[in-house]
Amino acid sequence: VALVDELRAAVCENINLYMDKYEEEFKEYVTGFAHAVWTLLQNVLQSTSRDQLAITAIKFLTTVSTGPHHTLFAADGIIPQICQGIVIPVVMLREDDEEQFVMNHIEYIRWDMEGSDLDTRRRIACELLKG
């Protein structure tokens, strides 16, 4: 699974880059990729080992939401779906987070605060919501 997830994350990074650099050529494929990435995200959000894939997938959706194709997110019910399907599951504490907090709460708080400068799941989900 790890190797496949690395490949999927690389694909998400590449389509994100391609959309950013070659928006005109990519516009007819955006909807299909956005749906595929959305479906992929539904399967990976709760797994700690798949964080990198979740982050790159959410970054792609953020790029779509902040770019010329933001109208994909304008349909009725899309914002609640994003909140319920992506943002809330990402910002919720997982079992791993709780265990980390119980084992060393000071280090957990430090990591969570300093992590805001990095590409963390929570930060990326907030960026998607802003988009």
For residues 96 and 119, which has the higher predicted lDDT (pLDDT)?
96
Q: What is the mean pLDDT of the chain?
A: 87
pTM comes to 0.83
Domain presence at residue 115:
no
Domain presence at residue 100:
no
Is residue 93 left, alpha or beta, with left meaning phi > 0 and alpha meaning psi from -120 to 50?
A: beta
Q: Is the pLDDT of residue 59 over 90?
A: yes
Domain presence at residue 20:
yes
**Domain coverage including residue 19:** 2-92+121-130
CB 55 within 8 A of CB 121: yes
Q: Given this model, what pLDDT does residue 117 score?
A: 56
Domain presence at residue 109:
no
Domain presence at residue 116:
no
Q: Given this model, what pLDDT does residue 118 score?
A: 62
Domain presence at residue 112:
no
CB 53 within 8 A of CB 89: no
- Tell me how many domains the chain contains: 1
Report the residue count for the chain: 131
Domain presence at residue 97:
no
**Chain center to CA of 80:** 16
How far apart (Å, rounded) are the C-alpha atoms in residues 22 and 91?
32
CA nearest to 82, candidates 29, 33, 41: 41
